[in-house]
Structure 1
């Protein structure tokens, strides 16, 4: 079972360590796609970070910290890990852990992005969702869709603007998401918006990401 105690803070990165492999679907930098993984990393890099091969550099970083490359999913962000926010939510026999970091300098409205040339910028929303339950692949992907919908809802309510278009952003150009299930406990065939899993993801991510966005805005306002 994944709980808040499963999350370990190491300064420049946060690690979520499971007792065994979890069914995983993600757009993470390292080990994207579908698979079974045990270690999950969210890493802070400096704003000047531009290696010749970021994927290779990430592999070297993970190896230096003792994480097996074939068992680890990893993301990176310029957001300091002191702004990594985690929450635990429960509904009956199913529970989830949500962990996010939110950087918004690179906010983009995907419905308008074809009209403009966007320069590389620091800013990304990294989302990890751990589900203590047994999900079909269909349910896992449906729950991921609920998470993306929730992210867009939060940015809309917080009035996060794409600076190129002047319209409400739907995300950033470098967002990453990882959703996993322990494959133990209550069985879920579906994970859409009115299911137990989907609604739990919506509630949990809405609360956690709202806090992360508020703290990011407070921090950046203080520096401006």
Structure 2
């Protein structure tokens, strides 16, 4: 729909924008990214006619916009910039009504019923109806921006050009604005060409992205190009780490400062443990890089508090996460910074094991019950087993793991747990085969991230073998304690 063919122009010599080519498709949300000084706003002004094009042209559906009248341009496209100044002291409704000017006919340019309906609709869409009689100059920067968006939408354009339109908006109104534009894009085929400075917001809303670097298009593509960390480094000259959004198939960028935090820890003095009949709480002085399937704190995170709470054997709660949060609040444990697990095992039987493998300190905390032990490979186990029992494992390591090594570490720990159950001949009660775990096992690996980064922690590595040995020993001891207690209770 929009074709920029070899355009040049700008304030400087040589021109800021030099023979640039770019195509924007009809009905897409296209975002231009680049640092300050890269030429984004200059390019925007060349497209909108605020600056003269010295070479090349801008074409919309094959027509050079230089041949279009102002009214024709206004019917075709609307512009929203980061500037929100208005020369006259208009009310909100008066400013929005200016957006209907290109569609009005005759000398007097009176508003028709359709004009009034469109004005009302866009004010509702942009949440400014209550301000209709308010003087524009009395509004906040964010409110003004929403008024100017309503004015642009009142034009009913085919193309909407946005120059960093969210600069004056708080997070709520940024998402309100962009959600609105995405809906208009999908419903009416609106073409959006936006300059955005927030890479993460651009990733969430753009269909395609272009990097502008020193006045030239460096690369054009879908949001997947935001995964190219080397390219991002070239464009922005800072370290950026690309990560997956937790719920959307979109990358998100994490900024990495150049300074380094020097918190050298003495691992054996870096944590404290509180153990009661109700809970075990391991607290570290500094956050650890963690991977877990706990009720709270699941996934890969940075956390400081690690809790295992005792529940009754008949515990049945539809909201275990909320329940666990309430328990932590009761004991002044910040659940936002915690991994939380639950067990019906008597916490006095927990095993605490410290060891060192080839100079790598580790500490394991394991509670174990095997009342609901299962063989995951057995086909006869088709329903949930309700017998109480679980194996909860905390493993803390004074080492620096990549995310891949964290996954390796979980695999190594799981293999060790399974070997312990095998050697103890723990069986699935339904199939009478050797169990591979229980139906509610939980595990946590926490790393200090000190020292040289290791990309692997599998069975073929020193640290992987260390994980295997300490988890095997601690799990075996915890299961033996559990079996001994069950035996004693049967004789009472």
Distance 1:186 1:12 in 2: 38
Note the 1:60-71 alignment, pairs <5 A. Answer: 60-71=326-337
SS at match of 2:421: helix
Aligned length: 224
Alignment of 1:21-170 (within 5 A): 21-113=287-379, 115-170=381-436
| Stretches (4+) displaced over 3 A | 1-5, 113-116
User: 2-side partners of 1:113 and 1:175: how far apart?
Assistant: 19
Identify the structure with bigger relative contact order (alpha carbons < 8 Å, sequence gap 6+). Answer: 1
Instruction: Evaluate the alpha carbon distance shift between residue 194 and residue 66 of structure 1 in structure 2; reply closer, same or farther with a 3 A threshold.
Output: same
The structure with more radius of gyration: 2
- The partner residue of 1:182 within 441, 448, 461 is 448
CA distance in 2, matches of 1:201, 1:6: 21
Residue 268 of structure 2 corresponds to residue 3 of structure 1: yes
Q: Distance in 2 between matches of 1:99 and 1:121?
A: 23
Contact 2:372 2:385 in 1 (8 A): no
* Structure-1-length-normalised TM-score: 0.95
The 2-side partners of 1:139 and 1:31 are apart by 19
CA-based RMSD of the aligned residues comes to: 1.5
Tell me the CA shift for residue 84 of structure 1.
0.8
CA–CA separation in structure 1 for the residues paired with 2:487 and 2:423? 18
Secondary structure at the counterpart of residue 348 of structure 2: helix
Residue 220 of structure 1: CA displacement? 0.7
Contact kept, 8 Å, 2:297 with 2:338, in 1: the verdict is yes
TM-score by length of 2: 0.44
Unmatched 5+ residue regions in structure 1? none
- 2:32 aligns with none
Matched position secondary structure for 1:151: helix
The answer (yes or no) to whether the contact 1:79–1:101 under 8 Å persists in 2 is yes
Structure 2 distance, partners of 1:35, 1:166, is 38
